[in-house]
Amino acid sequence: MTDELKKRISAAGQEHLLRFIGQLSPEELTAYTEQLAGVNWEELPRLAAEYVLNRPEISIPADLSPAKFFPLAPADSDMAELYARADAKGAELLKNGKVCCLTVAGGQGTRLGFDGPKGTYPIGPVTGRTLFSYFASSIARAQEKYGKPINWYIMTSPINRQATEEFFRKENFFGLSGENVFFFTQGTMPAFGTGGKLLMSSKSSLALSPDGHGGTLLALRKSGALDKMIADGNEYISYFQVDNPLVPVVSPRFIGMHALEESEMSAIMLSKTNSKEKLGNFCVSGGRTMIIEYSDLPDELAEKRNADGSLAFVAGSPAIHVLSRTFVEKLTSGGTLRLPWHRADKKIGCLDETGTYFTPEEPNGVKLESFIFDALPLANKVMILEGDRAEVFAPTKNATGVDSAESCREMLTARNARRLALAGVEIPRNNDGKVDAVIEIDPARVLDDEDAVGLVNALGLKKILAGEKVAL
Ligand code: UTP
């Protein structure tokens, strides 16, 4: 390790990181030196002061207003005509191979408490099909429907990259062509102890964690994913999170509206069920769209009502986006992108003074992450379209309770039941209206309501029995 690097580390107030270097093997020392050389030591004291020793002040702009959005049901005949054109435009873009999918799967899924990449979690209510399988099968069906291969970009972290790729190989890419599935790895950030000192996960490594889904944009550039998109003629990126198997992997209307409105970054919004619902709020300030996190929106704004009693700040974000490839190119053109950091207080396993690893009982450190939605204010045009919650959003954050695997499975059954009912199948329901069965449909067979009709006809399905567990 050069004296120069050591000096930079000391000047940043982090000389404790050099404590154990005398005990390392030559290979360990080389790897550690490489890791340390990748840190921006000159910026570190500012990050520690701003985000760790102090909490960043959240300043709510005085002119903050609710963002405008296109409602689920068209408000008038002009809008109905626009939606019809968007449906056609989205389908045309898909048929011409202009759309690719992007799944962010680099998170650590700590709340779910599942050992392994979250995408390998068995979410299927009957078969235990995994989250990755849902997306892969939906993409397979979309390819068949629109007659063009759809590239699928999957962002992992350095921690789960290998396990993710191995899973795909074991599953034979779920029948997709390996050529169309592109894995890429996001960046990392060193974790801080609450006193501002970086934590170590071993004597030869910092405690690193993925740099948040905001890291996607730069990782697309650095990994060569953008180059592949350009080479393959992909112009629109359909972005979704790994924990939401309900999401339409490609939505012709959403993609079409993005293109017709000449948006650079678009978003699906859901009408919040209450003022405190834990969704980011779509807002506008100075003509720029932004998301204010639920925890940062002052009560008087969260509670503010329109004349008809509805919430003024009603638009919540389920993290479903379409981005223009050219927008990502523009943002990352210099090979850098500075999105704001967000602080998260976490329990971080690390070495103590003596070099012994321990797992804390209480949060002992700070992780810094950037968020993809912080790219919204950087877009010249943003299009927001209302989504139907029951059709698009079933996040699997926790094992039980709200936003859990349990609630997600219920929503999958409810959506399948609705589709089958539309196709004329009799569905058993409890007194409270809940489906009295567990129903799974292979996404490789049914992408949308139209497909459900085809499947029901092909199977000659008339009814589902009470208490039945069905996988179609
Ligand atoms: P979450 O914010 O829910 O985080 O990520 P998480 O890491 O999955 O779960 P917890 O908070 O530890 O329980 C939302 C989406 O963003 C991805 C996740 O994989 C998920 O699809 N993500 C998050 C990344 O790809 N990289 C990150 O650094 C963070």
Question: pLDDT by residue for the chain (472 residues), tens digit each?
Answer: 999 999 999 999 999 999 999 999 999 999 999 999 999 999 999 999 999 999 988 889 999 999 999 999 999 999 999 999 999 999 999 999 999 999 999 998 889 989 999 999 999 999 999 999 999 999 999 999 999 999 999 999 999 999 999 999 999 999 999 999 999 999 999 999 999 999 999 999 999 999 999 999 999 999 999 999 999 999 999 999 999 999 999 999 999 999 999 999 999 999 999 999 999 999 999 999 999 999 999 999 999 999 999 999 999 999 999 999 999 999 999 999 989 999 999 999 999 999 999 999 999 999 999 999 999 999 999 999 999 999 999 999 998 999 999 999 999 999 999 999 999 999 999 999 999 999 999 999 999 999 999 999 999 999 999 999 999 9
Residue 202: CB atoms within 10 A of its CB come to: 15
**If we measure between CA atoms, which residue out of 198, 196, 222 comes closest to residue 209?**
198
Helices (H) and strands (E) in the chain, counts: 14, 22
Question: What is the model's pLDDT at position 262?
Answer: 98
In this structure, which residue's CA is closest to atom 18 in ligand 1?
107
Question: What is the model's pLDDT at position 59?
Answer: 87
In this structure, which residue's CA is closest to atom 9 in ligand 1?
109
Distance 362 CA to ligand 1 centre (A): 21
Query: Using CA atoms, how far apart are residues 157 and 223, in angstroms rounded to an integer?
Result: 12
User: H-type helices in 332-471, by residue range?
Assistant: 389-392, 405-422, 449-459
Distance 283 CA to ligand 1 centre (A): 23
User: H-type helices in 215-311, by residue range?
Assistant: 215-223, 225-232, 252-260, 299-302
Amino acid identity, residue 362? E
Which of the listed residues 102, 183, 243 should we mutate to test ligand 1's pocket, taking the one with most ligand atoms within 8 A of CB? 243
Structure-block tokens of residue 31: 């790897």
In this structure, which residue's CA is closest to atom 27 in ligand 1?
212
Residue 220: CB atoms within 10 A of its CB come to: 27
Distance 427 CA to ligand 1 centre (A): 35
Distance 212 CA to ligand 1 centre (A): 7
294, 279 contact by CB (below 8 A): yes
Which of the listed residues 101, 103, 108, 398 should we mutate to test ligand 1's pocket, taking the one with most ligand atoms within 8 A of CB? 108
Question: What is the model's pLDDT at position 57?
Answer: 85
Q: How many residues does the chain have?
A: 472
Which of the listed residues 189, 216, 242, 372 should we mutate to test ligand 1's pocket, taking the one with most ligand atoms within 8 A of CB? 242
In this structure, which residue's CA is closest to atom 22 in ligand 1?
107
Q: Which atom of ligand 1 is nearest to the CA of 243?
A: 21
Question: What is the model's pLDDT at position 56?
Answer: 86
The answer to whether the predicted template modeling score (pTM) of the entire model surpasses 0.75 is yes
In this structure, which residue's CA is closest to atom 1 in ligand 1?
107
Q: Which atom of ligand 1 is nearest to the CA of 156?
A: 25
Protein residues whose CB sits closer than 6 Å to any atom of ligand 1 = 104-111, 118, 155, 186, 210-213, 215, 241-243, 369, 397
Which residue bears the tokens 């004296």? Answer: 3
In this structure, which residue's CA is closest to atom 14 in ligand 1?
241
**If we measure between CA atoms, which residue out of 207, 200, 239 comes closest to residue 325?**
239
